[in-house]
Structure 1
Amino acid sequence: MARILAFDYGKKRTGIAVTDEMQMIAFGIDTVNTKDIFIFLDDYLSSENVELFIVGEPKQMDYSASESEVLIIDFIKKLTNKYPVIPIKRIDERFTSKMAFQAMIDGGLKKKKRQDKGLIDQISATIILQTYLDQN
């Protein structure tokens, strides 16, 4: 089986998570500067087989799109144009940052490490991907 790659896309940073080859477990692999996301993907896809992209879908409490959705739609268009054979699915990402922060606390990370926004983005991407796996 091929892997599934998930993104917690942000204006400055994008957290990235991936499944194992059996698509049972999600784990964070990196946080990259958003401007470098396609450099990262070209490198990653040259050595790994990926069959699906999962992109977080930020929503307001009333289920309407958040302000960052405009940026994400642009990212999805570029992703589709660059990698047309890999389908894209969306997963509601509400509360993933809070869940990621709580996971860091529960995991015993020191306050200094919990301030690492890149780590929060990576954990958020992992939560998005694990949510997809749990739903399917």
Structure 2
Amino acid sequence: LTGIVICPSNPFLSIDPILSLRGCREAIAAAGVPVIGVSPIISGRAVKGPAAKLMEELDMPNTAAAVADYYGDLLDGFIIDDCDREQCAQIANPRRQCRTAQSLMRDLASKRQLAVDTLSLLAELH
């Protein structure tokens, strides 16, 4: 089972610097494996760090759906927190699936469960 997971990190300060490296976005798109993102926004707030503040400054809504739209066609799947499940209708499209999970990692058990949920979506996309 292979794939690429964009972890629930700040899309602007953590992920964009990687994706903006010459050829990186293209290499991910050409890898021939599903690409899954995990939202760093839960209930309109960043789990940690300034992502929600940056979204406000960029005139973006503080939503998981806005993060999915920001990554655009790079994603084949996107995982959002259970409490944001109504946003799946905005996120899902013919090319991108949306799944909900308990995505706040408070302890080892919740980290493992999010990994299981992520791998489950990855398996569905294969």
Q: TM-score, normalising length from structure 1?
A: 0.40
Higher strand fraction (1 or 2):
1
Q: TM-score, normalising length from structure 2?
A: 0.42
